[in-house]
Amino acid sequence: MSATGGKLRKKSSDVAVQGTNDSSVLSKASAAARGYFRDVFIQHFVCKVVRRSPLINRGYYVRWRAVDHCVRRFLQTTDCCPRRQILSLGAGFDSLFFRLHADALLDRASVFELDFPDVAHRKAALISSSEPLKERLDCFSPPLPGPIHLSSSHYQLVGVDLRDQKQVEAALRAAGMDWAAPTLILSEVVLTYMETQRSDAIISWAAKLLPQSLFVMYEQVRPHDPFGCIMQEHFLKMNSPLHALTQYPDISAQRQRFLDKGWQQSVCLDMNQFYFGLVSEEERDRVESLEPFDEYEEWHQKCSHYFILTASAGALMDQALLVPRTKLRPSPVASPGQPPSSVPSCRARPIPTCVEGLGMASSCLWGGYILLTGGISRTGRGAETRVLLRDQEGWSMVCTEQSAGPGMRLHHSATPLPGGAVLLYGGRSSPLRPVTDLLRVSFQPCSPALGAQKIQVEPLTCTGDSPPPRWRHTAAAVRHRDRDFLFVFGGKNQSERALGDIGFLCLDDLHWTQVPVEGVTPAPRHSHSACSYEGGVLVFGGLGEGGAPLGDISVLGQTERGFCWERIDVHPPPEPRYSHRAHVVGQKLLVVGGVWMFSEGVPGLAVIDLATCTSVEFSLDTASVPHPLMLHSFCSELTASEEPELLLMGGGGNCFSFGTHWNRHLVSVELPAVLTLSTHSSLNKTSVAEL
């Protein structure tokens, strides 16, 4: 490589990194405008406040909240010091100084901001042209030549390349940095854009140069799972690769990184741990109320792929800025890309048939057909009803002729009925528009030689007191006094974060009926699973009304009068998760995919033995699947054959600001080894009514 070519590539990468600042400040301005946090100054750093999606707003809220928490804790713990400093590396257009000054928190404190000279020059010009910003600076003068672009008693804006430590040290000395004063060093998604050797050098340099300091870093983590792969690919396309992830892929590695580079203590939390451990329930409730939201899977995955880290040295060693209320321990499930461990695995293989869609519902039909309804595809919402069939050549899409479409709906239920029809219930077209109609879908298979397969869609009229509209619920067939009922449980709607009510629809006369149910109803939830089981229903997991995944198992069993809820205590308890799919095979509950929050890796296949009340977690070996396999907002069905397989269809999601990912092909999970697995724990089944 020629020297000129290397310099051009470096310049191009530097410009791309600087561009991340422009995108970030727009997102922060959007979140502030929607009321996620109070920042009246950020608007002066953008030409126009652009409204971002609720998912982006939440993502930047938790980032802002974590950094703000650490900065304010630092200022509180150093309040008795004669001088303290905040050094912001790669500050971009952040408004931190102006917010702290407005809140009168900078008594005996100074803020030093460092960034590329071009960025510092642009920021100085924006401040100079804004009266609300200028009035926060005493002794204001026009932007200065040299590395110090703006200077006041509490604020220094310095333009210098962070990779040149000698220039950085000289510029900070000229700006008045006191090496002995307590200092908070802040890095918000900055160091990872450098080659790891350079960023490690900065971490070591800061520990030596500022012996009484706290380092706060917010960056990406977990690059090897499906979301992490998509995240990495996005930044590569943006010419801003995340270098640190190769050597420091998880939070334990990042923590050890700082200890190895001269820091005496270090705490590292992913953003789910921060949000549920350090943000109050009252504040989380306020965030939930700000705007309609239904992207929980993407929100929690975003939070699991970013972390907040604090490292301390000197007299500040004991000043812990991150102390979660509860200790959250990850389970031993292996992450993709890591060396094999004791976690067993089952193989997943791709099937060439392309089936894309998010939020669909599926159902097995008579004759080995699989019905797919609703959801959203690349072409928009209201994906047409599709039918799959396996013949001697494998799975393929069947040509169909429909009397009418089921309309636009996501996160609905599709329940097979006695006689072969399928009942579509609930769903939504948007987070403010639940679907209220009930449809019966009938399929009439015929010989391919006779033309397209016939699908009949019939709207149904029910009587009685129907449950409130909902989506992300479950609906399963149950038996009561020799009659078939549709049992509806849980879900959410535009006014309730999680529903805990139940409903029984008699399928003979389509009347919503009151059926006696004893015991304690499971906690309100959505995105759970419910499988027909011995005339009743088996419910597992889901997302609770507090926003955390659930891992409990309950059975709605038949009694002489009606039904009774019972809880099954399983050992070891399955990891809490939601947005999964589940199937009963004999006395085993198979739980596939989903999203969990406080464990490493991604959910694979959990096998829960209902006879022995034991469970085993399997990872999915997806080495032969040519694309990241994101198992949420997907469908799955057990096929009836000599060697049953679990067929996975659709799924994926909006990966924060990195783009929407679609699982392109069908995937088959081999089950024989799983189904013959023997577990030998004693039965431990407790009636909820007895607790």
Q: What is the pLDDT of residues 72-123, one digit of tens each?
A: 999 999 999 999 999 999 999 999 999 999 999 999 999 999 999 999 999 9
Pick the closest to residue 534 from 503, 500, 568, 510 (CA basis). Answer: 568
**Average pLDDT for residues 222-234, to the nearest whole number?**
95
The CB-side HSE value for 310 (13 A sphere, CA atoms) comes to 24
Please give the torsion angle defined by the CA atoms of residues 32, 35, 40 and 41, in that order, rounded to the nearest 10 degrees: -10
Choose between 180 and 378: higher pLDDT: 180
| Structure token pair of residue 71 | 């900065």
| Res 482 pLDDT > 80 | yes
- What are the backbone angles phi and psi of residue 449, rounded to the nearest 5°? -65, -20
Pick the closest to residue 568 from 535, 536, 609 (CA basis). Answer: 609
Q: Among 196-205, 256-265, 449-458, whose mean pLDDT is lowest?
A: 449-458
Beta partners for residue 434, in sequence order: 428
Percent pLDDT > 90 in the chain is 76
Which structural domains are found in the chain, ordered by start? 3-316 (3.40.50.150), 345-690 (2.120.10.80)
| Res 241 pLDDT > 80 | yes
What single letter denotes the amino acid at residue 307? F
Query: Reduced to 3 DSSP states, what percent helix, strand and coil does the chain have, rounded to the nearest 5?
Result: 25, 30, 40
What single letter denotes the amino acid at residue 154? H
Q: Among 253-257, 265-269, 472-476, 643-647, whose mean pLDDT is lowest?
A: 643-647
Pick the closest to residue 531 from 603, 474, 615 (CA basis). Answer: 474
d(CA 256, CA 247): 11
d(CA 202, CA 221): 19
Instruction: State the DSSP H helix or E strand holding residue 459, giving kind and residue range, or none if neither.
Output: strand 453-460
pLDDT of residue 13: 56
The predicted-structure confidence for 525-561, as pLDDT tens digits, reads as follows: 999 999 999 999 999 999 999 999 999 999 999 999 9
The CB-side HSE value for 448 (13 A sphere, CA atoms) comes to 6
Tokens 């429909």 — which residue?
402
Q: What is the 3-state secondary structure (H, E, C) of 603-631?
A: CCEEEEECCCCEEEEEEEECCCCCCCCCC
**Average pLDDT for residues 365-369, to the nearest whole number?**
83
**Average pLDDT for residues 264-284, to the nearest whole number?**
96
pLDDT of residue 447: 61
What are the Cα distances from residue 146, in Å, to 115, 121, 149, 167, 416? 13, 10, 7, 12, 73
| Structure token pair of residue 358 | 């998010």
Taking the alpha carbons of 528, 533, 537, 538 in that order, is the dihedral positive or negative?
negative
pLDDT of residue 339: 37
- Confidence class for position 685, pLDDT limits 50, 70, 90: very low
What single letter denotes the amino acid at residue 674? V
pLDDT of residue 671: 87
- Confidence class for position 274, pLDDT limits 50, 70, 90: very high
What single letter denotes the amino acid at residue 116? F
The predicted-structure confidence for 382-393, as pLDDT tens digits, reads as follows: 567 888 988 877
Choose between 642 and 236: higher pLDDT: 236
pLDDT of residue 336: 41
Sequence-distant (≥ 6) Cβ neighbours of residue 680 within 8 angstroms: 612, 614
- Confidence class for position 5, pLDDT limits 50, 70, 90: low
Maximum Cα–Cα distance across the chain = 89
The predicted-structure confidence for 137-170, as pLDDT tens digits, reads as follows: 987 666 667 899 999 999 999 999 999 999 999 9
- Count of helix runs (H) and strand runs (E) in the chain: 14, 43
| Res 335 pLDDT > 80 | no
| Res 6 pLDDT > 60 | no
Sequence-distant (≥ 6) Cβ neighbours of residue 79 within 8 angstroms: none
Instruction: State the DSSP H helix or E strand holding residue 23, giving kind and residue range, or none if neither.
Output: helix 3-33
- Confidence class for position 441, pLDDT limits 50, 70, 90: very high
- Confidence class for position 567, pLDDT limits 50, 70, 90: very high
| Res 328 pLDDT > 60 | no
pTM of the model: 0.92
| Res 579 pLDDT > 90 | yes
Per the prediction, the chain carries an average pLDDT of 89
| Structure token pair of residue 597 | 């929050």
- Confidence class for position 599, pLDDT limits 50, 70, 90: confident
136: left (phi over 0), alpha (psi -120 to 50) or beta: alpha
| Res 9 pLDDT > 60 | no
| Structure token pair of residue 391 | 């013949």
Choose between 138 and 199: higher pLDDT: 199
Choose between 397 and 411: higher pLDDT: 411
